Amino acid sequence: MRTKRRRSASGILPERQSVIRAVRYAALFVMMMIPRTIYGFRYFPVVDDWFLYYGSSVGANHAVNLSSRPFAALADRYIFTPMAGRMMAGQLLLVLLLAAAVCLIYRAFENSRITCGAFLMLMIAMPPAGFEGVYWMSAASRIVPSVFFIALALYAQSRYISAGKTLYLIIFTAAGLFAVGFYEMLIPVYFTVTALAALSVGKKRWIIAIPAAFTIAAMVYYMVNGSDPSIADRVMLVEADGFWQHIADLFKDYRILFTEIQGQLISETVSDGLAAFAARPAYAAAALVFAGAFACVAEETRGKSVVFDAAAGVCLILAAVSVNVIMAYIRLPFRVAYPVCIGAALIAELLLCRIRPKIVYKAVIFCIAVLCMLSSAGQVSLYRYVHNEDCEYGNMLMQDEKVTDSRYLTYIFSERKYCYNDRLQYWEYVKSAEESYASLTGMVKYQSGKKDMNNIMPVHENEMIGDYDYESDYFDLYYLNREGKLEKCTAVRVGENYDLISDNSGFIGSLTYENGEYRYNEYKGA
């Protein structure tokens, strides 16, 4: 007598379901790698990357600061810094973690019956609005491991609730510990998504106590370490009398971020992505093939109710913004958009997964997948451009041997924080190394291999610098002109102040003595 084989909830035989899942995750992984490798198997470090990893890889390591994001600090030291020079290996590691996170979240939501589909997977893996958070090593090294451990906790929780095995409870607990130690903005998301998954099942709801305990412990940890200047702005709570004004300002900033700024970002990066793919037909063909494969096996799980899923999406959005709600300092770089997109994608999935016939749903997913790859490739092209300009800038500096000689202090005067990307300038988004002394010093330190060189200090209009004798031979002074070229200059004392004289441009500005420091004032011309 033949036994009847069990089918999945979607009516698909288990062996076929396994093949579909394998195709889905393989296609997603390749789609994530295509934009990252469109210019070769290379990563293009910019801004904070230079001092976090590249500069730190030269010479002796300093003490690890565990006051903020303790597991991220350990990963920086022992995983990513040793990869400097071959950081694409770090990118590959993060892509594997992110792809695994998507797989775990999909499987967990299958058990919890929260709506999940191809669109949500794309927004987690390769979001146009939050690509900075999953590509730029300085941000992705915090966000991606956090997302992975949240996903692992979510999957282990779903398995423990359904199977009751203690091993899954142990994995759930361990993953939760790591989930709160990489990126503070995702701690409320960790608590919220695990709580929602437990509530959607209706069994073993006591398990919510574990993420609640970790969330409280993380808050206490940050408050205890609040005296550390590196995290002071992350633990300063908004004052009660200014709370509603703070909320109004926060809402305005989020509105601008998700409308005009994101609109500009996506339109420009898609255009750049089209140019990158047009120049590389093989990559364009591969992108279309794998986007098609992903769309063909696109499926969705339906939640218990539209109301619950919509409420879950709203809760995740609120969780993603909650840290900024209570913190006095509003700071919304592009990576902050990433966790918000996850909640918004869950709500959008409610509409997309109801598109019928299914061929239309698959066509929509195909178009979105192509759009994501275009935007990602466009952003990688911008990282590449700024990286190459930075390296040229560093080579200009190193033509003077004094720059890498520890006996000399280098100052570079310019009108503004210099940025080769003259289109979209927003927070740290792909800015030049000249943005900060730490980035600039880290870059030159790595390029030169000199482990004991002094800091290189960019000085911009109206910024304050220390009270030193700038006529001294121990200072190596430059002027960064409006064409982005470096000119040697000297300081000439005039009373308490200094005039700055460039070898090529003549008088470029002055250092005005104020309260024990000097303010740089650039000469605007007659």
Tokens of residue 401, six digits: 């041997």
Cα–Cα distances (Å) from 19 to 13, 26, 102, 297, in that order, read 10, 11, 17, 10
One-letter identity of residue 523: Y
Could you give the CA distance from residue 286 to residue 27 in angstroms, rounded to a whole number?
A: 10
Determine phi and psi for 72, rounding to 5 degrees.
-65, -40
| Whether the Cβ atoms of residue 505 and residue 481 lie closer than 8 Å to each other | yes
| pLDDT on residue 6 | 46
- Distant-in-sequence, close-in-space partners of 195: CB < 8 Å, separation ≥ 6: 208, 211, 212
| pLDDT on residue 7 | 46
Instruction: Identify the three-state secondary structure at position 314.
Output: helix
One-letter identity of residue 425: Q
Could you give the CA distance from residue 404 to residue 108 in angstroms, rounded to a whole number?
A: 53
Nearest to 175 by CA among 162, 188, 157, 163: 157
Cα–Cα distances (Å) from 309 to 1, 115, 122, 198, 305, in that order, read 43, 7, 18, 13, 6
| pLDDT on residue 9 | 44
User: Which helix or strand (DSSP H or E) is residue 241 part of?
Assistant: none
| pLDDT on residue 129 | 81
- Distant-in-sequence, close-in-space partners of 61: CB < 8 Å, separation ≥ 6: 77, 81
Tokens of residue 97, six digits: 């973690």
Could you give the CA distance from residue 165 to residue 150 in angstroms, rounded to a whole number?
A: 19
Could you give the CA distance from residue 196 to residue 346 in angstroms, rounded to a whole number?
A: 13
Could you give the CA distance from residue 394 to residue 412 in angstroms, rounded to a whole number?
A: 12
DSSP 75: H
Edge-to-edge strand list for the sheet holding 486-494:
456-460, 409-414, 475-480, 486-494, 497-502, 506-514, 517-522, 464-465
* pLDDT by residue, tens only, the chain of 526 residues: 444 444 444 555 666 778 888 889 999 999 999 999 999 999 999 999 999 999 998 876 667 777 778 999 999 999 999 999 899 999 999 999 999 999 999 888 877 778 888 999 999 999 988 899 999 999 999 999 999 999 999 999 999 998 889 999 999 999 999 999 999 999 999 999 999 988 888 788 899 999 999 999 998 888 887 666 666 666 677 888 888 998 999 999 999 988 888 888 899 999 999 999 999 999 999 999 999 999 998 877 777 678 888 888 999 999 999 988 988 777 888 888 899 988 999 899 888 888 888 899 999 999 999 999 999 999 999 999 999 999 999 999 998 888 888 888 999 998 777 777 777 778 888 889 988 899 999 999 999 998 888 899 999 989 999 999 999 988 999 998 888 888 999 999 999 999 999 988 899 999 999 999 999 998 876 4
| Whether the Cβ atoms of residue 44 and residue 158 lie closer than 8 Å to each other | no
